Structure 1
Amino acid sequence: MILVIGVPHLDTPISIRGVEIRNRIVMPPMVRFGWAGPLGEVTDRHVEHYARRARGGVGLIIVEAAAVAPNGKLAAAQLGVWDDMHIPGLRRITHACHRAGAKILLQVGHAGGNTTFDNIGETPVAPAGVPLPGKEALGAPRPLTQAEIRGIVRQFGLAAARAEAAGFDGVEIHGAHGYLLSQFLSPVTNRRTDEYGGPLENRARFLLEVVREVRARVGPGFIVGYRLGARDLVPGGLGIEESQRVAVSLEAEGVDLIHVSHGVPGEALPSVPPGSPYSYLVHLAPPIKAVVRVPVIAVGRIVDPGIARSILENGMADMVAIGRALLADPEWANKAIAGRDREIARCRQCEGGCRRARDECPVGRD
């Protein structure tokens, strides 16, 4: 539930499952490819990267996707949370961010068919033997058996328990961007004929089982968030009306926070309404917010503090995710809250270091 009266501003606190967050600014998960150790370990670079944004005033940090299983990696060098050995390194991140006053979630995910043999050493798995649109050259993934589906549900639960042991305030389950949970939800990639395919209630079954398992494995004060791919960017894909129904089900299963993004990717984002100052992704948040009572995060190239303020003040979302702009200026939150907008080192939207991820942002360097 949202515990606030009146119109929220960037510096308005928010309470989620009893966790007090100092403001409405979120650092969304942005994978820093190549930073993790060979077994998915946290490195010093990760710790300082997140600590800088916590010191910079961010209210809620969502750490980049950590794989719940070795065959769920989206890249060869990616953070892992599939083994207890990952807990000490992850704890270094939580301690550093908590010391700076931020709250912190770990995004947990499984790439499914949105990875390669080279990344995981085996044929990727998916709901069905259907490659993602635009990635047909990589070959067809292997369809999961029902026993394997049950195993992955358990892996998500164990990953959440490890995140709690590492001191995180919660997890965000990755259900967007064409990764495994998004693949199950999409009629484009889910061609199953059993109880996990077909109508929406079947396509949503797996992700709701994951939420149920995660909630059962963690304590009552632990936040369970969900990144929802609210609309696929390919013809015949998931639409916003179905996603609204999914959002209602997520809330009923105990999800505390919904972070709205896109589903299965395509060639390009659809156009935004004429004259709109917001990106297409921002426009996906209000329809989800309209059907749930839990807080909703808007995301999508929000680089200007004025735009972030207007999203909150116009009731489009309860929190705003500032991604690339925080790579450009780790002090974005402090400066925006203080009204020092002109001092912010501006993201150029150059598709530079943030797109290649291994490289540094040409504006702000870690």
Structure 2
Amino acid sequence: MPQSSNNLQAKAPDGGFGIYVHWPFCAAKCPYCDFNSHVRHHAIDQDRYVRAFQRELAHFAEMTGNRTVDSIFFGGGTPSLMEPATVGRILDSIAGHWSMDANAEISMEANPSSVEADRFRGYRSAGVNRMSLGVQSLHDRDLKLLGRLHDAETALKAIDTARSTFPRLSFDLIYARPDQTLDSWRQELEQAIALAADHLSLYQLTIEEGTPFFALHQAGKLKVPDADFGAEFYALTQQVTEAHGLPAYEVSNHAKPGAECRHNLVYWRYGDYVGVGPGAHGRISVGATKRATAIERYPETWLENVDTHGHGMVENTGLSEEELGDEYLLMGLRLLEGVDLARYEALAHRSVDPKRLSDLLEHGMVERLGDNRVRATREGFFVLDAVVADLAA
């Protein structure tokens, strides 16, 4: 039977509790990127931003009460433009407001420029224990096309420095790039795996509205693989990573067993997470309600709002039972481990329609993992939104 909504507080921590810190600045805006990132041609007053982060963290601590932090993630933007002392002060603030798990994962995204690589030891001393590098390609031609500021040699040096500095290393690559062949992607992916990262995030290039790539694509000046060819790239990616011991544990993320990104698992397991900084989003349990939070995107406006109100929230909305169930399915079905239908019932206050589930099983879109757990198949991943819509209907 579905559980009472009074049990939501007990169910929400199932996915863990994390803190996401958004640093919104980049040295340059990549033409494919639609993230909340901003370029400023003047020095950033990091001391002022630290004070704002500290105030916003304090505000969220009052909302959540004392929870145990499993993971912290510095994302962006380009967090590696932060001084190590800035990172350290933010981490000290988090530890001052919440309990910290003894094995908490503290991740930071970084661009592999040589200047930022020199800071890695400072970040490690501040407490960062996992580095995620935005490599994107190991080919100079494609790095230039993607608007990256580093070349392949610089990326390799940064990988080597990160590997020797941090206990855990991940890096990102983008595939299905213009003019890329399956054979060249296989070689590049095998080269990446040989660099001894224990985690890889492998994303298919998508054309996002509002980006320079979108305008070029609309004008016919940028051609990317069509959906069928993109599916071939995806299938090859699974084949190569599985053969080398880094299977997908999520649609786009691959890891050696035990090296999965703990922070991203908080999202996909539908745990609670506080999001601070310009443009950050969060999901936090307050009493018997899970709330969706969103922060002002524009950095300077965010600073003013924090100065005035103690936070930069522009959204703080309680989620309905239907929304809770939908979000749990949408996030959890991205995972190889799938979703627990009993937890879905506890969140949504309803059961999955047996007929719809049977149809999805029959058509090979989902498969059972024991009596009460299901996951999307590889075929189901390609139409995941439709699978979620069917299960949630």
Structure-1-length-normalised TM-score: 0.45
Which has the larger Rg? Answer: 2
Higher relative contact order (CA 8 A, sep 6+): 2
Kindly indicate which of the two structures has a greater share of residues assigned to helix: 2
